[in-house]
Amino acid sequence: MSTFDLNSINSALSDSGRPSSGVDFSGKSLKLDTANDAQPIVDAINSCPDLQYLTLTGNTLGVSAAEAISKALEHHPELKVARFSDMFTGRMKTEIPPALAALGDGMITAGARLSVLDLSDNAFGPIGVEGLAKLLQSDVCSELEELRLNNNGLGITGGRLLAKALSARPRKLKIFIAGRNRLENDGATALAKVFQNMGTLEELAMPQNGIYHVGISALSEAFKRNAQLARLNLNDNTVGAKGAQAIAAALPNLKNLKSINFGDCLLKSKGASALAKAFKDNSLLLESLDLSHNEIGREACMEVVDAITALPDSYDRLSRVVLAGNSLGGANNKKTMRDKLGASAELSDGEGSEDEYVTDSEEENSNSEEEEENDGQNSEDSATEDAQHLDTGTDFAQDITLDTSGVEEIQTEVGRFLAQPTIENLDRLGANAPDVIDAHLQAIKDPTALIQAYVDATFCVAGLSEQNPKAAELAEQMYPLLIKRAGQQHAAAWILANSVLSALGLIKSEDKAHKIRWALGPCYTTLARAIDAPYFPAALRDTLRFFANSKRTALPLAAALCR
């Protein structure tokens, strides 16, 4: 049964910022595979004359169900809030992008203008961002104020694509949430450019993203242009001393900053001291500060406490100060801190601990080693996540070692060729190798596995095209066969795109055991010839060229697909 309420007084009282009219199916744990399964939601939407919000959190939607809901949304241009988090539990990753795209298309057709979009906890990954890009670049998101993309598996590539989509038009985002996405330095830097141009941020949360001081510094430059920033959460990134100094330099511009969470950021004493000085010099009116588990020495911890309690109203203003997991010294030190901080104090995890992580002098002596280590980590971190496992040099194709390890003894000639793609094994399949391969693969029943198998087979053949004219001819026959067989499967477009992108090294494969067994250079060359053929899907062509263009620096071979 639907749970919408056209005049929800209780909702309005509990959340004054939430529209009072809409449809809420949150937490119902509904498994919606077909249009018929989605009918209760469709009926609720159709029965709501003023659909200000739609919440589908905590259910699981298939593509057909999403398409049915999308049709209902086409009649509601008044929609303002879309809460679509945690909607795909138990779904194949390839189902998520087309389902999200369908919901977006419904809002685009309606001409809706969203103020809030929450897509958190949906593992659509980098390829899903491209489907989302259409919605983000549309008029639907032209007035967006709150964007939540927490725990989406974006990676560096997804972060870059997201930044590209957001930069397509001027933005006035107030809240941006993107924790647990492995954005790393490159993703954070790309998004920092978007934030710098906006200047409207009030809350930014990017915890657990593997960002080092390079990315932190880029974000800090963006903070200087966002004077209304009130809440900042960079928990569990490696801010370090360099990052802390960059943030400290931005604090004079952030007079409205009320809440900071830099827990687990490896600040150490030097970083904490830099922040403490900036807090005091700029008389920040902080209400909440989390510097827990940062290996800060007792003297620097006391500097922080002294800085945030310097103003006379601090005792009443501070609501939470977390220094647990640092070296706070003995009982006298802790008592002094508690006296200054009052009820807001959350000190060491073990109240009797007097452990000292590192003294200030020791830290200064080892600082060069720490910075060298961070720079080394950053050099790897700065490479795109999806290309880190590939050689990025100009001799990329020549340096690849074909993976033939762990191959079981295979009885069929096709199986032997797919496990060990050599000219000799290809010759054993005869002049009609594509037909032989096709007959062999048709036995696979799972759509995702079948499409992946056809992609692998195509590139096993294409990878040999520069060694033998016959292999080049056979490769030309494999591409139309691949497109034909993939087109016969459910959600084929997304499965095919994901499989081809990972096979070309443009994104990281979700299957850790799946290895590139073919030479990439010939694969790019043969695909470049096939990509403009009439049988080749335009959407797949655009997707491949989009990703190839974004990776052409890290992966020079990708330039073959770019016009």
Q: Give residue 371's pLDDT band: very low, low, confident or very high (50, 70, 90).
A: very low
Say if CB 292 and CB 322 are below 8 A apart.
yes
DSSP 295-326: ---HHHHHHHHHHHT-STTHHHH--EEE-TTS
CA angle 196, 197, 203 (to 5 degrees): 55
| Overall average pLDDT of the 142-152 stretch | 95
Q: How far apart are CA 458 and CA 437, in angstroms?
A: 9
pLDDT-above-90 percentage for the chain? 59
Which sign does the torsion angle of CA 536, 540, 543, 548 carry? negative
**What does the alpha-carbon distance between residue 58 and residue 28 come to, in Å, rounded to a whole number?**
6
Task: Encode pLDDT of 440-465 as tens digits.
Answer: 888 787 888 889 999 999 999 999 99
Per-residue model confidence (pLDDT) at position 46: 96
In which residue are the tokens 């960079």 written?
234
The answer to whether residue 12 scores a pLDDT higher than 70 is: no
Query: Could you read off the pLDDT of 15-69 as tens digits, one per residue?
Result: 445 457 999 999 888 999 999 999 999 999 999 999 999 999 999 999 999 999 9
Mean pLDDT, the chain, rounded, equals 84
- pLDDT given for residue 128 in this prediction: 80
Q: Between β-strands 53-55 and 320-322, what pairing exists: parallel, antiparallel or unpaired?
A: unpaired
Residue type, 430: G
C-alpha distances (whole Å) from 197 to each of 116, 166, 194, 219, 443 are: 20, 11, 5, 12, 53
Degrees to nearest 5, angle at CA 185 with 181 and 186: 90
Q: How many CA atoms lie within 13 A of 501 on its CB side?
A: 31
Give the mean model confidence (pLDDT) for residues 76-82.
97
Report residue 511's pLDDT band, with 50, 70 and 90 as the boundaries.
low
Contact assessment for residue 217 and residue 246, using Cβ atoms and an 8 Å cutoff: yes
pLDDT mean over 382-406: 36
- pLDDT-based confidence at 367, cuts 50/70/90? very low
pLDDT digits (tens, 9 = 90+) for 227-250: 999 999 999 999 999 999 999 999
Residue 487's pLDDT band (boundaries 50, 70, 90)?
Answer: confident
Locate 143 and state its tokens. 């007035």
Domains of the chain: 396-561 (1.25.40.200)
Q: What angle do CA 203, 164, 129 make, to 5 degrees?
A: 85
Q: What is the pLDDT of residue 494?
A: 79
pLDDT at 552: 79
The pLDDT assigned to 477 comes to 92
Q: Is the pLDDT of residue 105 over 50?
A: yes
329 CB-side CA count, 13 A: 16
Burial category of 515 from C-beta neighbours within 10 Å (exposed 0-12, middle 13-18, buried 19 and up): middle
37 in Cβ contact with 65 (< 8 Å)? yes
